[in-house]
Amino acid sequence: MFKKLYLMLVMAAALACNASPSKPVYKNAGPNDLQPDEQQKVVLGYVTKLITEYNYKKVPLNDSVSAIIYDRYLKKLDENHNYLLASDVKEFDQFKTTIDDDIKAGNLANIFYMFNVFQKRYTEYVNFSVAELNKNFDFTKNETYTYDRDSLPWSASVNDLHNLWAQRVKYDLLNLKLTGKETAANKATLKKRYTSVLSQSNKLSNQDVFQAFMDAFTEAIDPHTNYFNPALAANFNIDMSRSLEGIGASLQIDNEYVTIKGVTAGGPADKSKLVNVDDRIIGVAQGKTGEFQDIVGWRIDNAIALIRGAKGTTVRLQLLAKGSAATSKPRIVELVREKIILKDISAKKEIRTYNSNGKTVKIGVISIPAFYLDFADYKAGNPNYKSTTRDVKLILDTLKRENVDGVVIDLRQNGGGSLIEAIELTGLFIKNGPVVQVRDARDQIEVDKDEDPAIAYSGPLAIMVDRFSASASEIFSGAIQDYGRGLIVGTQTYGKGSVQNAIDLDKVITPTLKDKLMAVTGKGKTVPNGSQNKFGQLNLTVAKFYRISGSSTQHKGVMPDIDFPSIIPMDKYGEDTEPSAMPFDMIAKSDYTAVGSFATVLPQLKKLHDDRMAASTSYKYLLQDIEESKKQANEKSITLNEQKLKEQRDADEKEAFEKNNQRRVALGLPALKKGQVKPKNEDLDFLQKEAGQILTDYLTLENKLTSVKPAGSF
């Protein structure tokens, strides 16, 4: 759809973007004195050109935008005002209206200076916390620790911050003390925790600083234009495709060791029978003869970059078994990387049964976590490519064989993904026709259609949405609503109506410049791992979505036919809470014909729902939970008096235990005894159950939606 625009971007960027010489950098501002490199300056130049010239939302880089970027970056450094002094911030204010000029000049010195000062303060206060553990603490005083400080002024002096951190240490100790452990053991635990935190801070690289600043920069322009460094780009594309190329193991850091915490069934690690959970990886080598790199003490993302790689390539690991000494001889395991399908985060089904006037009604529920597509396989013509639509089609075929009476598609927490998938998934439920309209930066409108006349499922349908249903979720649910094909139940959706193109910067930056950068940085000497590009990725907002009815999903989202209370705070999350978000607007309606309307039955369905909720204990508890969450969100401090905190915690624990049992009984589950572990896989999803009940209500009504079912459809 945007092939011509993409080619324009590549050509324009190839002729531009030679970063200007930087101003002199600040030295020794922080313990690690991180500095930008030439590659980051070049990437900044290319990203800036792409954003200022090709972003759908035309925003000039000026002093006004500079101030927004500055505020966002400062917030990313120290959102809770725990580390920086008022004098630090006052000094930084000189950069508030010059960041736009620095961006244009490729100058990152001021940005890195701000970070280095922050890291200096961070190191000071973690070290202060370690020293503070040597003191004695009196937990009988009526002191209060204010933990939520983002609306408070910056601390005026070092002494003020010392007092703040002394309270934080006291709070941490009191938390451990209430578990019943001895003071000496608690202090040892905290010392280890603080030391580990400082160790992780010292592993931050200039890439982390650059990423934080680029987040502030791009989000000041538009919430959904984002730069991803190579590691984040790899993770983004894995999330989009629901697949990766690697060994099939999940990793995490445990006492400076990269440790295997899970093995994917059927993956290379699993099939080898030589890799076990809790094995520690101490070295990684590429190919059959590559040298081992010691990765003890490495950051997890750097280790993952070495271990992942292209399908069919070989990686060798040096492993220490759990419990073996660090001086033990490691075993060496050779693995051939494969494509790993992430089944745990793909579409899933279940069947719920309801009773309607003595008749059993079966409702199939399909939970879709994202609109994923393995674009590489799709583009290559692999008939078995991984995608949301293919997975849902298989599930629908299974549900039809199991004779379900209706289907609920659960899109809660589904933040979107592939536009192709939103269109094709809609096509499973309609004969053919327009699904979404897209207006680009030149005001040209394209109507994307479902061209396939086949219908995978034509029976009763409901779509569940919540505040975190966004983008592709809104395209799909909006189209289903506009066609009158299914009921939308839940809460107002997120309101993301913008289109992003993923631009691989490796394909934009000129080959000659790449060679120069590789020579300067020395990065060309490393062995390619196949899992990451070199320069990162820009997700650039290039267009805006509109429903076939003409309404934008931007800002307002999709409004449900039947409302549920929102567990997610509507005033804190959603496009309408983003200062840089584009406004709502409308265009002309596209040419489509609705298959029906729920207008005649909605009043009855709403009344049945409302009556049921008025009598529902579970609904009453849900409303209580929402009010309790609001109350807790407004709390900013906590007592440091041991007796008072213990009484408060005991009362909270007792209340939570009793409420949990009340909710279990309301759902038809047995109450738990004190200390009893909750059984796995219990059905606690009251709202999903209600969505199925609404569809069951619809099945019992006489004045239903009327539609013509094509021959052979369900």
| Beta partners for residue 348, in sequence order | 367
User: Rounded to the nearest 5°, which phi and psi values hold at 62?
Assistant: -140, -175
Grouping H, G, I as helix, E, B as strand and the rest as coil, residue 417 is: strand
Helix or strand (DSSP H, E) at 666: helix 642-666
Contacts of 358-362 spanning 24+ positions with Cβ under 8 A: 361/405, 361/406, 361/696, 361/699, 362/402, 362/403, 362/404, 362/405
For residue 126, how far is the Cα from the chain centroid?
29
- Rounded CA-CA distance 687/677 in Å is 24
Query: Which of 105, 96, 93, 84 shows the shortest CA–CA distance to 29?
Result: 84
Q: Between 158-177 and 109-132, two packed helices, what is the crossing angle to 10 degrees? A: 50
Query: Which of 546, 441, 442, 608 shows the shortest CA–CA distance to 55?
Result: 441
Note whether 486 and 476 are within 8 A (CB).
no
**SS (HEC) of 321-383:** CCCCCCCCCCEEEEEECEEEECHHHCCEEEEEEEEECCEEEEEEEEECCCECECHHHHHHCCC
Q: b vs e for 620-645, b when ≥16 Cβ sit within 10 Å of the residue's Cβ?
A: ebbeeeeeeeeeeeeeeebbbbbeeb
Note whether 246 and 337 are within 8 A (CB).
yes
- Rounded CA-CA distance 541/5 in Å is 12
- DSSP percent split of the chain into helix, strand, coil, nearest 5: 40, 20, 40
Q: Between 686-700 and 617-633, two packed helices, what is the crossing angle to 10 degrees? A: 140
| CA angle (47, 50, 55) in 5-degree steps | 120
Query: Which of 659, 606, 666 shows the shortest CA–CA distance to 628?
Result: 659
Q: Between 206-221 and 109-132, two packed helices, what is the crossing angle to 10 degrees? A: 120
> What is the layout of strands, in order, in the sheet containing 461-465?
348-356, 359-367, 406-410, 461-465, 487-490, 562-563
Q: Write out the two tokens for 636.
A: 């900013």
Residue type, 33: D
Active site residues: 471, 482, 496
Q: Write out the two tokens for 316.
A: 């060798």
User: Rounded to the nearest 5°, which phi and psi values hold at 507?
Assistant: -90, -5
Note whether 55 and 540 are within 8 A (CB).
yes
| CA angle (21, 25, 31) in 5-degree steps | 145
- Rounded CA-CA distance 28/31 in Å is 7
Residues 6+ apart with CB under 8 A from 654: none
- Rounded CA-CA distance 628/624 in Å is 6
